Amino acid sequence: MQTPFPSDSHPLCTRTTMHNLQQRANAVSAFAISVLFSLLAAVALLSYVMPPPEPTADVAVTELRVRREYLVLTLFSPPVRAGLYSVTGRYGPDYFDYGKKTNEFAFLAFDLDADLTPLFDWNTKQVFVCLVAEYESKTHNHNQVVVWDTIIEDKENAVLEFQGERNTYALIDVSTKWQGLVANFSLRYDVTPHVGVLRSGLAGSSKAMPFPVAEKR
């Protein structure tokens, strides 16, 4: 008597499924993407828990002046429209319009000696560096104003040596007056990695500098 062939539902019978080329490619690509993202996550974690050494910088303010600007009604000077107050003088590329009759602008010169090469490794894309004026006033406990900045994209340009460098941006307080205020000028940086989180830090700071009496123009 002939023994019948077991059906597909028989426990001893197994069926082998053949995957086509597209299904196999999808499986391989999904596995590769998972491995890649795992490696990127590991790199980001290592960059966070094992940061590079902190850089050092010497900042010295060699000159600090305050000049009082008077605002006048301007009718035809672009880009100011009729009926607005505009500053009669400029500092840098910005045009100041504060709607106030007087305002005090601080001007400074500083010496900088900074070695930021420790911030550069295989995962560093660029470093943003800025000089920040930090001070307390009657209305605000902590004020920060960026007066100079630069972007470093490679390790070869990570040593900064300046003498008599001028502030790029105007230094103005919301109270319009600098009399009686004291500021520290700090060199701060932000490291942009290829993979991972943005990291910030302080490289150095100047001694406390009191603002002088404003010069009248």
What's the pLDDT score for residue 9? 55
Residue 122 predicted with pLDDT over 60: yes
- Conformational region of residue 137, where left means phi above 0, alpha means psi within -120 to 50, and beta covers everything else: beta
Amino acid at 211: F
What's the pLDDT score for residue 196? 78
Q: What pTM value is reported for the model?
A: 0.69
pLDDT band at 13 (very low <50, low <70, confident <90, very high): low
Residue 92 predicted with pLDDT over 50: no
Question: Quick one: tokens of 84?
Answer: 């607005």
Query: What is the rounded CA–CA span in Å between residue 205 and residue 60?
Result: 8
pLDDT band at 54 (very low <50, low <70, confident <90, very high): confident
By DSSP bridging, strand 143-152 and strand 124-135 are: antiparallel
CA dihedral over 84, 90, 94, 96, signed as positive or negative: negative
Domain 51-65+106-216, CATH = 2.60.40
More confident position, 189 or 43: 189
pLDDT tens profile 129-139: 999 999 999 88
Mean of per-residue pLDDT scores for the chain:
77
What's the pLDDT score for residue 20? 76
pLDDT band at 191 (very low <50, low <70, confident <90, very high): very high
More confident position, 84 or 74: 74
The residue among 86, 53, 89, 77 whose CA lies nearest residue 217 is 89
Residue 60 predicted with pLDDT over 80: yes
pLDDT band at 116 (very low <50, low <70, confident <90, very high): very high
Query: What is the rounded CA–CA span in Å between residue 42 and residue 134?
Result: 36
Residue 171 near residue 107 (C-beta atoms within 8 A) = yes
Compute the average pLDDT of residues 18-28: 73
More confident position, 154 or 170: 154
pLDDT band at 154 (very low <50, low <70, confident <90, very high): very high
Q: In this structure, how many other beta carbons lie within 10 angstroms of the beta carbon of residue 55? A: 22
| Residue ranges of domains in the chain | 18-49, 51-65+106-216
Point out the least confidently predicted range of 3-12, 22-31, 198-207. 3-12
